[in-house]
Amino acid sequence: MAYSNKVIDHYEHPRNVGSLDKGDASVGTGIVGAPACGDVMKLQIKVENGVITDAKFKTYGCGSAIASSSLVTEWVKGMSVDQAMQIKNSQIAEELSLPPVKIHCSVLAEDAIKAAIRDFQQKQGAPGSEGESKH
Ligand code: FES
Ligand code: FES
């Protein structure tokens, strides 16, 4: 199976690799693993006034997982937390033209951004974060 050009581009030139300070109250950290293959993805966001101003990732995994996390960190910068929460793995898979066996790699990226947002919200004491019914 051949990787798409976009996967190869993000794999060879990953955007936003690195770490943000976990102790910073404006930083949310999400760490997720894929049971299917054992790959692990760490994704962090920095939020200022409800807008994601920075994002970093570290992924121990396949090319598609690295490309998915690289793409997501690019997408979320400048998004509101609510917008980032709407990102679907299907959008990632479509952008990267992932084949069916690599769909779970994009699921990992969706799970990681959601986990990072939840971590950030918990740090805020998040009065609004448990109110699913409000949306
Ligand atoms: Fe883990 Fe993809 S199976 S690298
Ligand atoms: Fe498992 Fe890509 S994350 S093969």
Domain definitions of the chain by residue range: 5-123
Can you read off the two tokens belonging to residue 24?
């910073």
Tell me what pLDDT residue 51 has.
Answer: 98
Structure-token pair, residue 19: 């770490």
pLDDT of 122 > 70? The answer is yes
Helix 103-123 and helix 63-76, axial crossing angle in degrees, nearest 10: 40
Amino acid found at 7: V
Structural tokens at position 78: 């400048």
Q: Indicate whether 83 pLDDT > 60.
A: yes
Tokens 């994704």 belong to which residue? 43
Quickly state the pLDDT bin for 133 (edges 50, 70, 90): very low
ipTM above 0.85, yes or no: no
49-81 residue pLDDT tens: 999 999 999 999 999 999 999 999 999 999 999
Q: Is the CB of 62 under 6 A from ligand 1?
A: yes
Reported as a single tens digit per residue, the pLDDT across 6-65 is: 999 999 999 999 999 999 999 999 999 988 889 999 999 999 999 999 999 999 999 999
Atom of ligand 1 nearest to the CA of 102: 2
Q: Tell me how far the alpha carbon of residue 35 lies from the centroid of ligand 1, in angstroms.
A: 10
Total-model pTM: 0.87
As assigned by CATH, the class of the 5-123 domain is: alpha beta
Candidate of 62, 69, 70 to mutate for ligand 2, largest count of ligand atoms within 8 Å of Cβ: 62
